A = this chain, B = another copy of it.
Amino acid sequence: MEREPVFNAFVMNAPTHNAHGLWRAPHARNIGFSQPDMWVDLARRLEDAHFDAMFFADVVGTWDGYRGGWQESVARAVQFPVHDPSVLIPILAYVTRNLGFAFTSSIIQEPPFNFARRVSTLDHLSQGRIGWNIVTNALGNAARNFGLPDVPPHTERYRWAAEYAEVVYKLWEHSWDDGALVRDREAGIFADPAKVHAINHSGSRYKVEGPHLTEPSPQGTPLLMQAGSSENGRQFAARHAEGVFIHTPTPDAAAVVVSDIRARAVAAGRNADDLIFLQDLSFVVAPNDAEAEEKDRQLTAWFDPEGSLAQMSAAYGIDFSTIDLDRPIGDFQSTRHQGIIRSLIEAQSDKSRTFRDILGVQPTAGRLVGSPDRIVAAIEDWVKAGVDGFNVGFLTLPGSYVDFIELVAPRLKKKGLMQSTYREGTLREKIFPGRGPRISSAHPARRGDWTDFSKIG
């Protein structure tokens, strides 16, 4: 990494992201999420503190399966309601100059032609500060909102994602040649048609003629984000991602994942340093450890374990309301539960633990609680392990970020662990200094080695 660690605010256009129930906490402005004001205020604070980007998680369905349906998720605001981040971002980009904006968009939610146009328009409007988190979607209800009977098998989803990426890369990188935009008033030529090309994509899911409808945007391809943890996911991240989100329990575990995915990227013909790795962390911080722990107690009193179980039921495909979460897992040895339940039990050496212990039903799984010094020391450990930056989650909006900005950021900056000023240029140039606004020429989007994509999975 040629620069200080990256810090993104990891948010969602919803009342909560992973800290279920904390929309209820005093001073939390989470429920104002539908209006611009809270977000504008947050974006300005983040930019003043030199955060790199706001990163919007997203889902296009409800988490269903707990107590037989999605009713608990609706009642408890489990990533619900969830509004479109792509139309909030323009406002936040307009009120800032340097902060980046990445958002999640699933391959099931929109045809690639329309999506590519929207992203290019956003990249123009933000002067090149847009990132895309490529996801396949794992929610059954989301699948059924888009005409699918259910979530497709894992390998099929990644093949689909590979073709989706192929289409948008063709539009972003291979439809307009350099110099195509002429805008010659005297000659009456806006664009040189010899340098604007149809893409004539014809694949197993998509047929797209082109040309791309927007002028070449500052970045062309937006900064590409991905969070793959499965075998297919890691392979996909290695081929496609410039920013890989990881959610590992310890710095040592992070080092293993980073080194694995980086090796895969090199094997796929990419440069090792064309990828950065961002660990997901949240913080409860106060001037000293005791105060931080008291603050954590006060905040987590608002935590809603039912919301967490609703999300986990959908994630694991198990209705956790049918399981006694407080019995030792040893008691389940001879039950009828199979599959994932069996795997969860077998993975534990201590059979006196309960499901509630194992599932880690808590506000945010990676939350660090302590004084600024304790937080800074923890961050340092992750950085030493080879992590390039962090997706900073929240318990309350904007409180979690206000605390981080006031108490942690100044110390990080003093130690060179956070940038104290913005670099010039697009989001990509800020993240990968000195390499220009376009995606690396070693990335498949530029190389155009589409045939390789079919090898995914």
B contact residues around A86 at 8 Å (CB): 87, 118
Partner of A121, one of B84, B144, B217: B84
B contact residues around A120 at 8 Å (CB): 83
15 extra interface residue pairs, beta carbon distance < 8 Å, beyond A86-B87, A113-B145: A21-B188, A24-B185, A31-B190, A61-B209, A70-B193, A74-B190, A75-B191, A81-B214, A84-B118, A84-B122, A87-B121, A87-B125, A91-B91, A91-B125, A141-B209
CA–CA, A24 to B207, complex, Å?
Answer: 35
Residue A432 at the chain B interface, CB threshold 8 Å: no
Number of residues from A at the complex interface, CB < 8 A: 71
Given A75-B193, A76-B188, A81-B191, the answer on whether A87 and B147 have CB atoms closer than 8 Å is no
Copies of this protein, total: 2
Q: Is the CB of A147 within 8 A of B213?
A: no
Given A110-B110, A146-B111, the answer on whether A24 and B188 have CB atoms closer than 8 Å is yes
Partner of A124, one of B83, B94, B121, B191: B83
Closest chain B CB from A204 CB (angstroms) = 12
Looking across the interface, which residue of chain B has its beta carbon closest to that of A148? B207
Q: Is the CB of B91 within 8 A of A191?
A: no
Given A193-B71, A213-B80, the answer on whether A206 and B147 have CB atoms closer than 8 Å is yes
16 sample A-B contacts, Cβ–Cβ < 8 Å, listed by A number: A23-B185, A35-B125, A61-B213, A75-B192, A75-B193, A81-B213, A81-B214, A83-B213, A83-B214, A87-B89, A87-B125, A90-B91, A94-B94, A94-B95, A109-B113, A146-B208
Looking across the interface, which residue of chain B has its beta carbon closest to that of A304? B188
CA–CA, A255 to B120, complex, Å?
Answer: 42
CA–CA, A83 to B122, complex, Å?
Answer: 9
Residue A412 at the chain B interface, CB threshold 8 Å: no
Residue A88 at the chain B interface, CB threshold 8 Å: yes
Q: Is the CB of B121 within 8 A of A13?
A: yes
Residue A360 at the chain B interface, CB threshold 8 Å: no
CA–CA, A213 to B113, complex, Å?
Answer: 24
Closest chain B CB from A293 CB (angstroms) = 24
